[in-house]
Amino acid sequence: MAHPVTKLEILAALESNASSLADLFAAVPDARMFAGDSDHWSPAHHLVHLTRSSLAIRRGLGSEALPPHSTARSRAYAEVRDAAAASLSAAPKDRLLEMGRVVVVEPGARRDDLVSAFLAASAELRAAAAAWDEQALDRHAMKHPLLGELTVREMLFFCVFHERHHAKGVRARLDGVPDAPRA
């Protein structure tokens, strides 16, 4: 898949991710969907995390008070992807574990409800992003806990990468590959 550049390409990538993730999680057997804890995430933990991330970024996009970005220039998708991967690798494991422990799968949670919540959050994120003017995506800043200041476009690039990163991690876990650090 080509790297997104424009707002429309970002929205298309996010929509494609949402569909792929819904299919992935819908196919996970219940016994595996919920097998994990805050230190060793189950697929359900990943899905709850992605839902919360989408909602947080959607709230940010809806803010009337996003500050101007210091350069008003966005990096390319590949640069944001590489910076995110490097930040994740460089982050102390204890910090990642602590960040991960705030993700809780509620007792009695059901797969269909978690998938529906993710799809709704993803749709809200895309709707909020669609309301932005193409040039304004580069002029305003959002803060990421590991990457620091990003343009709004870079944050949306991060969302595309982030969802793909978690899908890859879930697939690896389902295939029996040991847990990798979470993002």
What pLDDT, in 10s, does the model give residues 98-137?
A: 887 789 999 999 999 999 999 999 999 999 999 999 999 9
CATH of residue 123's domain is: 1.20.120.450
Question: What pLDDT is attached to residue 100?
Answer: 76
pLDDT band at 1 (very low <50, low <70, confident <90, very high): low
3-state secondary structure of 143: strand
Mean pLDDT throughout 152-166? 97
pLDDT one-digit tens code per residue, 38-94: 888 999 999 999 999 999 999 999 988 899 999 999 999 999 999 999 998 898 888
Domain assignment of residue 105, yes or no: yes
Q: What is the pLDDT of residues 15-32, one digit of tens each?
A: 999 999 999 999 999 889
Residue 180 lies in a domain: no
b or e along 42-56 (b: 16 or more beta carbons within 10 Å of the residue's beta carbon)? bbbbbbbbbbebbbe
Is 106 inside any structural domain? Answer: yes
Classify residue 1: in a domain, yes or no: no
Number of domains, the chain: 1
pLDDT for position 177:
53
Alpha helices in the chain (DSSP H): 7-26, 30-33, 43-61, 77-90, 93-100, 111-130, 136-139, 152-174
In-domain check, residue 83? yes
pLDDT, position 76: 97
Average pLDDT over residues 32-36: 93
Q: Is residue 148 part of a domain?
A: yes
Specify if 159 maps to a domain.
Answer: yes
Domain hosting 114: range is 7-174
Q: Is 107 helix (H, G, I), strand (E, B) or coil?
A: coil
Question: 181: pLDDT confidence band, cut at 50, 70 and 90?
Answer: very low
Identify the residue with better confidence: 65 or 140: 140
Reference 163, options 127, 122, 128, 104; nearest CA is 122
Query: What residues contact residue 90 under an 8 Å CB cut-off, 6+ apart?
Result: none
Query: Per the domain annotation, does 183 fall within a domain?
Result: no
